[in-house]
Amino acid sequence: MANFNIDAQKDLTYDAIVIGSGISGGWAAKELCEKGLKTLVLERGRLVEHVVDYPTMNLDPWDMALRGGLTPEEKRKHYKGIRSGFIGKDTEHFHANDEENPYTEVKPFLWVRAHQMGGRSILWGKQTYRWSDLDFEANARDGHGVDWPIRYKDIAPWYTYVEKFAGISGEPLGLPQLPDSHFLPPMELNCVEKHLKERIEKLYPGRNLIIGRCAHLTVPHNGRGQCQYRNRCSRGCPYGAYFSSNAATLPAANATGNLTIRPFSIVQSIIYDDAKGKATGVRIIDAETNEAIDYSARIIFCNASTLSTTQILLNSRSSRFENGLGNDSGELGHNLMDHTYRIGAMGRVEGFEDKYYKGRRPNGIYIPRYVNIDEATKSDKFLRGFGFQGGAGRAGVMNAANEEAFGAALKEQLLQPGPWEFFITGFAECLPYHDNKVALNADVTDKWGQPTLAIDCEYKENEMALNRQIQADAVEMLEKCGVKEVVGFNNHHEPGYGIHEMGTARMGRDPKTSVLNAFNQVHAARNVFVTDGACMTSSSCVNPSLTYMAITARAADHAVSELNKLNI
Amino acid sequence: MNRRNALRNTGLLVGASALTPSLLALFQSCQSKPRLEWQPLFLTEDEARFVTAFVDTLLPATDTPGGLDVKVDIFLDKVFAEAYDAEAQQQVREDIAAFNAEATRQSGAPFADLKAEDRAAVFRTAEANSGKFNGQVWGTAVGVQEPVGFYRSLKLMALSAYLSSEVVGTQVLRYDPVPGGYDGCLPLGPEERIWSL
């Protein structure tokens, strides 16, 4: 299919440069190309063409050496990312090489990175929820961080716009704190989840248990196939049934004829022209030849992922910006956020022993936020809130291993479904703290001699209070609903585990306290746009990727409008 | 004699055409220990005999294939050889030695040399003395996972290797690589097996 144009040799000048090809970079590329701009996408890693470059997508366990296990050499290559629990032989090739790309944990921080075309859009969890004014007004309401320069009404049409292209399945509920998307048909709850939905919604007015809203197609959509329920998503989907840059936005960008994508392009810095008062291009290092090359463009979109974008901005120093491009406020690199998670409860559900399921659904249940959404639900223990993800299924091999049995009796148990289990795990909002930050570290360089990041971030008392409430509520809900052997857990980890890192180049109303304006333009370099997670002013408690998509499409529209008016 | 031994003996006969069956039987009976029929990558001969005996006791052939039929023992050796670092490999050797020492204390011989009822007694003791795995959410144990000990760990590895073998995955379990849809409330008969994958 795609036949991407990767020849960036003959032309060093473009209308637009997009740094990064992940979930937001793919959107920037699509929007800018479709609006007629000759666009160069710079990708740090290799090309990954949809389907063609998904080597493990159809492998069964017995097809893989070590049935999916990793060798000590492979574990060393991912010595930081491995603790996420998400790296196996089936996906190892989509996770960054930590040995070549070190970073420093001033305080413990897990930074999961994916250095190839498509970035983490290949690997993401695909839960997709709109944010609401509960989120966009949060900072203004309680005084933490700075006020978002936008409100829900500004972004709502852009949510609709990206949802119509991406394909989001889910059920409309009309909840003010979790606005409905433009939905494809929802996936199905299993019978135990349906049972617990009834119990929770009866026992707890104001709480809902719903099927996850997700970027999986439940019907064919825009030339992509529907989900086949294999649950092998993070290997790349041969049907294109979940949204990724590779399956959706980059092929659309390519179809315009305006796209050039340059792999193995490590962005060293953005070039700023003091006289012109704007950025004029991007300097890269070719990852294979170490050659330095400058590309020029009228506008630059930064979509390298939250921390990588900020790393590039910090490394883009000029006489005008001695501390990094756009860092007049001193906020560049600060206010790093993530979501706490792995706190919740699990237990066993009785009465459904004669029920099973068919298909491996790549989705679970969601319990939307129900605290601090109005005066009646206000907590005196913490600010902001949390939601739960979870699901029900029948126990498998771990349960059999725990049985005090062996021999023929054990085999019988092993080959039949175990008890039904149900779990929920919370995702809590993290406040923006100035001292949760990243800085350039010239003492540790990457394979290409570039300074790396030192990450200095921790959760604080408000997040701990949220975590305590999550566990207490999870245990209580399960016990009241009749779940047996309920175990509460707090496997709270250092930030980064949520893989929802946000902030460090925040949007705001005032250039003195923020890096970006309401359209994601660097205040003092208006032809530079930041539309990945770095731009986020607060963190909400819901998954951020859909918001990155909407913000990116909105900013691209504004960028082209401003170009046409000769304002940038 | 289980089906695997039948296959083994057939294979041995093919490779030993000079020996008559009766001579072969005599030859085998003279050996103090049953010969290992595969070449371990990591384990010593005695350690491999332990793993084979462990797998056979845990997952004997019944109306479904046994662990040895689907080469669980050979796969575990491969895991120790290729997925373990030097420290973990050393730990495996020590754990096997300790398990055999306990078998000798209880029943007078290393595990592989025990009769079926003595192996069962050793397993019952190991069951009683082993910890349990915590529940898991998205592949990660919830709460503080206390060490479960060598027996429980090797048991889980063996069960996982059994389920992830091609024969079990495609012929014993219900194999449906492309389900095509989701049914969240499928009736389950008393004898029906789990899905593969």
Q: Is A250 exposed, middle or buried (0-12, 13-18, 19+ CB in 10 A)?
A: buried
DSSP single-letter state for residue A180: -
| Phi and psi torsions of A285, nearest 5° | -115, 125
CB contact under 8 A, B187 and A356: yes
Beta strands in B68-188 (DSSP E): 136-137, 140-141, 183-187
Mean of pLDDT values over A285-294: 97
pLDDT of residue B60: 98
Q: For residues A15 and B28, what is the distance between their CA atoms, to the nearest angstrom?
A: 81
Does residue A475 lie in a domain region? yes
- Cβ-defined contact of B180 to A229 (cutoff 8 Å): yes
Sole residue written with tokens 């593969």:
B196
Calpha distance A142→A149 (Å, rounded)? 16
- DSSP three-state, residue B188: coil
Check residue B39 and give its pLDDT: 95
Q: Which residues pair with A487 in a beta bridge?
A: A346
A-chain residue closest to B56, CA distance: A407
Give the mean model confidence (pLDDT) for residues A208-232.
98
Query: Any idea where the domains of chain B sit in the sequence?
Result: 37-128+148-172
pLDDT at A315: 98
Please tell me the distance from the alpha carbon of residue B68 to that of residue B162, in angstroms, as a whole number: 9
Model pLDDT for residues A78-125, shown as the tens digit of each residue? 999 999 999 999 999 999 999 999 999 999 999 999 999 999 999 999
**C-alpha pair distances (Å), B65 with each of A183, A243, A311, B49, B176:** 47, 41, 56, 19, 20
Residue, of A562 and B33, whose pLDDT is higher: A562
Whether residue A106 lies within 8 A of chain B, CB to CB, comes out as no
Percent of chain A with pLDDT over 90: 97
CB-closest option in B159, B165, B181 to A401: B159
| Mean pLDDT taken over chain B | 86
Q: What average pLDDT score do residues A37-41 get?
A: 98
Nearest CA-CA distance, residue A474 and chain B, Å = 14
- Smallest CA–CA separation between B13 and chain A, in Å? 30
Per-residue pLDDT at A3? 80
Cα separation, B11 vs B37, in Å, equals 10
Contact check, Cβ <8 Å, A402/B78: no
Q: Return the H-helix or E-strand segment holding A315.
A: none
As a whole number of angstroms, the distance between CA A281 and CA A14 comes to 9
Per-residue model confidence as pLDDT tens digits over B141-164? 888 999 999 999 999 999 999 999
Using an 8 Å CB-CB cutoff, list chain A residues near B84.
Answer: 72
- Rounded average pLDDT over A236-253: 98
Structure tokens at A65: 């050496």
Q: Give the model confidence (pLDDT) of B42-98 as tens digits.
A: 999 999 999 999 999 999 999 999 999 999 999 999 999 999 999 999 999 999 999
> What is the pLDDT at residue B32?
53
C-beta atoms of A346 and B184 within 8 A: no
Neighbours of A412 (CB within 10 A): 15
Query: By the 8 A CB rule, do A205 and A151 touch?
Result: no
Contact B79 A66 (CB under 8 A): yes
What's the token pair of residue A30? 């699509």
User: What pLDDT score does B34 carry?
Assistant: 66
Please tell me the distance from the alpha carbon of residue B69 to that of residue B59, in angstroms, as a whole number: 10
- A491 to B140: CB separation less than 8 angstroms, yes or no: yes
CB contact under 8 A, A357 and B185: yes
Judge contact between A284 and A295, C-beta under 8 A: yes
| Three-class secondary structure of residue A522 per DSSP | strand
pLDDT band at B191 (very low <50, low <70, confident <90, very high): confident
Nearest to A408 among B62, B79, B172 (CB): B62
Q: In total, how many domains does chain A have? A: 1
What local confidence, expressed as pLDDT, does residue B36 receive? 81
- DSSP state, residue A76: H
Q: Are strands A451-456 and A104-105 parallel, antiparallel or unpaired?
A: parallel
What are A333-350's pLDDT values in tens digits? Answer: 999 999 999 999 999 999
Assigned domain for A538 exists: no
Mean pLDDT of the residues in chain A = 97
A74 interfaces chain B, CB cutoff of 8 Å: no
Residues in chain B within 8 Å Cβ distance of A62: 164-166, 169
Tokens of A417: 């479904």
Question: Nearest CA to A112 among A126, A98, A99, A91?
Answer: A98
Q: What is the pLDDT of residue B33?
A: 61
Contacts of A14 by beta carbon, 8 Å cutoff, 6+ apart: A37, A38, A39, A40, A260, A295, A296, A297
> Does any domain span residue A153?
no
A chain contacts of residue B137, beta-carbon cutoff 8 Å: 342, 344, 346, 423, 425, 489
Q: How many CB pairs below 8 Å do chains A and B form together?
A: 171
pLDDT at A466 over 50: yes
Q: Is the pLDDT reported for residue A529 higher than 90?
A: yes
Considering only the beta carbons, identify the residue of B62, B141, B142 that sits closest to A411.
B62
**What is the structure's pLDDT at B74?**
97
- CB-nearest to A191 from B177, B178, B185 is B185
What confidence tens digit (pLDDT) does each residue in A16-33 have?
999 999 999 999 999 999
**Amino acid in the structure at residue A71:** T
- Is A150 a domain residue? no
Residue A145 has pLDDT above 50, yes or no: yes
Q: What is the mean pLDDT of the segment spanning A437-455?
A: 97
How far is the C-alpha of B107 from the C-alpha of B101, rounded, in Å?
10
Question: Measured between CA atoms, how close is A225 to chain B, in angstroms?
Answer: 11
Which residue in chain A has the smallest CA separation from B175?
A60
Residue with tokens 């701009």: A37
Q: Over 50: is that where the pLDDT of B13 sits?
A: no
Q: Please tell me the distance from the alpha carbon of residue A317 to that of residue A320, in angstroms, as a whole number.
A: 8
Asked if residue A23 lies in contact with residue A120, where contact means CB atoms within 8 angstroms, the answer is yes
Q: Which domain covers residue A367, as residue numbers? A: 171-211+340-428+460-493
Residue B55's closest chain A neighbor by CA? A407
Task: Look at strands A420-428 and A343-349 and give their pairing.
Answer: antiparallel
Cβ-based contacts of B82 with chain A (< 8 Å): 65-66, 71
Closest by Cβ to B180, choosing from A228, A402, A423? A228
Please classify residue A334 by burial: count the beta carbons closer than 10 Å to its beta carbon, then call 0-12 exposed, 13-18 middle and 19+ buried. Answer: buried
Query: Is residue A7's pLDDT more than 90?
Result: no
Residue A354 in any domain: the answer is: yes
Please say whether the beta carbons of A82 and A75 come within 8 A: yes
Q: Which residue in chain A has the smallest CA separation from B156?
A: A401
Contact A414 B162 (CB under 8 A): yes
Buried b or exposed e, range A150-183, using 16+ CB within 10 angstroms: bbbebbeebbebbbebbbbbbeeeebebbbbbbe
Select the residue of A359, A414, A489 nearest B181 (Cβ to Cβ): A359
- Write phi, then psi, for A162 (nearest 5 degrees): -75, -30
Largest CA distance in chain B: 61
Question: CA dihedral in degrees (A76, A77, A83, A85; nearest 10)?
Answer: -120
Please state, as a whole number, how many other Cβ atoms lie within 10 Å of the Cβ of residue A443: 9
Residue A232 CB contacts under 8 Å (≥ 6 apart), including other chains? A56, A57, A90
Residues of A in Cβ contact (< 8 Å) with B139: 85-86
- The count of residues in chain B is 197
pLDDT-above-90 percentage for chain B: 75
SS3 track for A438-490: EEEEEEEECCCCCEEEEEECCCCHHHHHHHHHHHHHHHHHHHHCCCEEEEEEE
Does residue A332 form part of some domain? no
Measure CA of the first residue to CA of the last residue in chain A; give whole Å. 36
CB–CB contact B187 A354 (8 Å): yes
Chain-chain contact of A346 with B135 (C-beta, under 8 angstroms): yes
d(CA A452, CA A308): 9
User: What is residue A394's predicted lDDT score, i.e. its pLDDT?
Assistant: 97
Q: For residue A302, give both structure tokens.
A: 């930064």
**d(C-alpha A523, C-alpha A519), whole Å:** 10
Q: What one-character-per-residue DSSP string does A44-105 give?
A: SSB---TTTT-TTTT--GGGSGGGG---HHHHHHTTTGGGGS---TTTGGGS--TTTS--EE
What pTM was computed for the model? 0.94
Q: Are the C-beta atoms of B172 and B69 separated by less than 8 Å?
A: no
Cβ pair A416:B179 closer than 8 A: no
Answer whether residue A164 shows pLDDT above 90. yes
Quickly count: other Cβ atoms within 10 Å of residue A382's Cβ: 21
Mutation site, B185, B186, B193, B197, interface A, largest A CB count within 10 A: B185
Indicate if the alpha-carbon torsion angle B170, B173, B178, B180 is positive or negative: positive
Where is A184: in which H helix or E strand?
strand A183-184
For chain A, the farthest-separated pair of C-alpha atoms sits apart, in whole angstroms, at 81
Q: How far apart, in Å, are the Cα atoms of A195 and each of A365, B103, B124?
A: 12, 48, 38
Whether the CB-CB separation of B57 and B120 falls below 8 Å is answered with yes
Question: Would A465 be classed as within a structural domain?
Answer: yes
Q: Is A331 in contact with A515 (CB distance < 8 Å)?
A: yes
Question: Which residues are CB-contacts of B190 (< 8 A; sequence separation ≥ 6)?
Answer: none
**Does residue A145 come out as left (phi exceeding 0), alpha (psi in the -120 to 50 range) or beta?**
left
Pairing of strands A210-211, A278-286: unpaired
DSSP H or E stretch at residue A270? strand A265-273
Chain B residues close to A415, C-beta within 8 Å: 64, 172-173, 193-194
Nearest CB among B137, B155, B192 relative to A342 is that of: B137
Cβ-contact A154, A148 below 8 angstroms: no
H helices then E strands: how many in chain A? 12, 20
Whether B5 shows a pLDDT value over 90: the answer reads no
Q: Is A83 on the interface with B (CB under 8 A)?
A: no
